[in-house]
Amino acid sequence: MYARITARALAITVPAKAVKAAPAIATSAKTFSTSVSSMKADKKERVKVHFPGALDSHFSQVLEIREKMEPIDTFRVMDTDGKVLDPALEPDVTEEFATKIYKDMLTLNVMDLILYEAQRQGRISFYMTNAGEEAYIGSAAALEPEDEIFGQYREAGTLLYRGFTLDQFMNQCYSNDMDLGKGRQMPIHYGSKALHFQTISSPLATQLPQASGAAYAIKRSGKKNCVMCYFGEGAASEGDFHAALNIAATTSAPVIFFCRNNGFAISTPASEQYKGDGIASRGVGYGMHTIRVDGNDLWAVYKATQEARKIAVEKHKPVLIEAMTYRIGHHSTSDDSSAYRSKKEVEDWKRHDNPMVRMRKWLESKGWWDEARENNHKSQQRTAVLKAFAAAEKRPKPKVSEMFNDVYDKLTPNLLEQKKELEEMLKKYPEHYDTSNFTKEN
């Protein structure tokens, strides 16, 4: 699998001119046809149909049964050694900007490692790691801070990039009194109004039509922003995916749908998830600008998102990006991926096409990174994460009364009744209900 993808992707060279204008954006799909010559022959007589449902079609005397469209190419900037393949694609960025991205990728790794272990030790109930997919941070780097983000769940890196602090991550995972979500959500269901990051919703794909709606609101407000919506190739099988893309296209909503195609939906491999040319081919079907990109290539992801953002914000049109990648970690702490893929396969990916390595080598080639800086940042972040972790673990849980707040804007009569009942019970039987770990009521 690895060898095939790499070989094909390496063979592609992107002409510089095309990249500047609109890199690898397929506005119309080229097609395979069994009867190209005969179609050419009657080109002159070709008559457009008058049916309202497909205005660009022509009448033809050739019965065409189509199974495939030409596969959409995968845009890349760097090879697996972090070498830029076409000098015209050399990222025009500052050292500060590039190292910030890489530092966030490293911090994400460090945080994942510690919180994954914390779950294994039973200190938090659930966790999801980002290993193998860290290059999606490039998409966050291409957005403006006020672009709304609707995540699926494996996008902690975008929050990190926007400035969500280690304390905020830890407080959420520990559902303590400082958790912005007041301890009401499972770990990793982050949300931040200040950072324009919509609270994570567990049911798959619900965020997609909602992203179209938030994009509609942005369009109406006249703001020069867009919505970024992340999801996986598995979620793209949900009805909500199709509903969202269709309605985003028909309402011309400024939204970028970013598919992290990491090869697996928990245990289901992409080969069993769908039959067509990935997720990207569907974007064209919905009449949407579509890009397929090497999701392990940070600069390709960055460039693709930059171009997609231009289309969304300037033309008020949705864009679909399919980022091809490979999930190195287990799906979540509830999963053991060795049951459905070999350890060797995972190791091969880690060794041969690692987004961290590719980015690091690129930085080193610029003289912006080295072994010392790598070790220094890692140990610094490890200390910082452990400090935040210990602090969050020690903090009390939110007030018991918070259980009833925010169901509605105000407490309804039945909520007041329940609240009173609970208060009386806690007062009457303190020996049975230990609330010492909760924040005291005022």
Residues between 215 and 234 that touch another protein (CB under 8 A): 215-218, 220
Interacting span for another protein (CB under 8 A) from 44-52, 337-345, 403-411, 430-438: 403-411
Helix axes 166-173, 371-394, angle to 10 degrees: 40
Task: Identify the helix (H) or strand (E) that includes residue 228.
Answer: strand 227-232
> Does position 78 bind another protein by CB under 8 A?
no
Q: How far is the CB of 313 from another protein (least distance, A)?
A: 16
165 to 204: interface string for another protein, x by CB under 8 A: --------------xxxx-xx---x-x-x----xx-xxx-
Is residue 331 flagged as an active site residue?
A: yes
Tokens 């609970």 belong to 422
> Does position 407 bind another protein by CB under 8 A?
yes
Say how far apart CA 294 and CA 304 lie, in whole Å: 10
Is residue 202 flagged as an active site residue?
A: yes
> Does position 240 bind another protein by CB under 8 A?
yes
Please pick, among 60, 252, 267, 332, the residue that the annotation labels catalytic.
332
Interacting span for another protein (CB under 8 A) from 69-77, 138-146, 293-301, 400-408: 400-408
Is residue 337 flagged as an active site residue?
A: no
A 10 A CB-CB count for 354 gives 20
90 to 119: interface string for another protein, x by CB under 8 A: ------------------------------
Q: How far is the CB of 253 from another protein (least distance, A)?
A: 8
Is residue 201 flagged as an active site residue?
A: no
How many residues are present in the chain? 442
Please pick, among 35, 38, 202, 338, the residue that the annotation labels catalytic.
202
Strands 197-198 and 319-324, sheet pairing: unpaired
> Does position 156 bind another protein by CB under 8 A?
no
Q: How far is the CB of 144 from another protein (least distance, A)?
A: 16
Residue choice 106, 135, 208, 284 for contact with another protein (CB under 8 A)? 208
> Does position 350 bind another protein by CB under 8 A?
no
Q: How far is the CB of 192 from another protein (least distance, A)?
A: 8
Helix residue spans in 251-323 (DSSP H):
270-273, 280-285, 298-315
Which one, of 104, 192, 183, lies nearest residue 150 by Cα? 192
Q: Which residues of 383-401 are buried (b: 16+ CB within 10 A; e: fewer)?
A: ebbeebbebbeebebbbbe
> Does position 211 bind another protein by CB under 8 A?
yes
Please identify, using beta-carbon distances, which residue of 44 and 193 lies nearer to another protein. Answer: 193
Q: Which residues of 220-248 are buried (b: 16+ CB within 10 A; e: fewer)?
A: eeeeebbbbbbbbbbbbbbebbbebbbbb
> How many CA atoms lie within 13 Å of 437's alpha carbon, on the beta-carbon side?
9
Say how far apart CA 356 and CA 360 lie, in whole Å: 6
Interacting span for another protein (CB under 8 A) from 17-25, 52-60, 341-349, 411-419: 411-419
Say how far apart CA 218 and CA 388 lie, in whole Å: 35
First vs last Cα of the chain: how many Å apart?
Answer: 60
> Does position 136 bind another protein by CB under 8 A?
no
- Per CB under 8 A, residues contacting another protein are 148, 150, 179-182, 184-185, 189, 191, 193, 198-199, 201-203, 206, 208-218, 220, 239-240, 242-244, 246-247, 250-251, 253, 405-409, 412-414
Residues marked as catalytic: 117, 202, 331-332
